[in-house]
Amino acid sequence: MELSQLKEMLKKAGLNKKQFAELISMQYNTVNAWGSNNAVPVWVKSWLSLYIENKECKELKEIIRENVCKE
């Protein structure tokens, strides 16, 4: 995964590097250093993909709840 992909996925997830570091219980400096050598760990792409998918599912669930489940 390249740095540009990381930035794109973080944006789609609605996160910045500091928030991401907190979510994964990692030092911000470590996450930020990934950009300096373009070496983003392999697991990051799948983690962010699942995070984004989960976020989208929660948003869809809320829309359904508000519009379909009215009593």
CA distance 37 to 14: 24
pLDDT at position 70 over 70? no
* Cβ-contact 62, 21 below 8 angstroms: no
User: Helix, strand, coil shares of the chain as percentages rounded to 5?
Assistant: 75, 0, 25
- How far apart CA 65 and CA 10 sit, in angstroms, is 27
Encode pLDDT of 17-65 as tens digits: 999 999 999 999 999 998 777 689 999 999 999 999 999 999 888 888 8
Strand segments, DSSP code E, in 1-71 are none
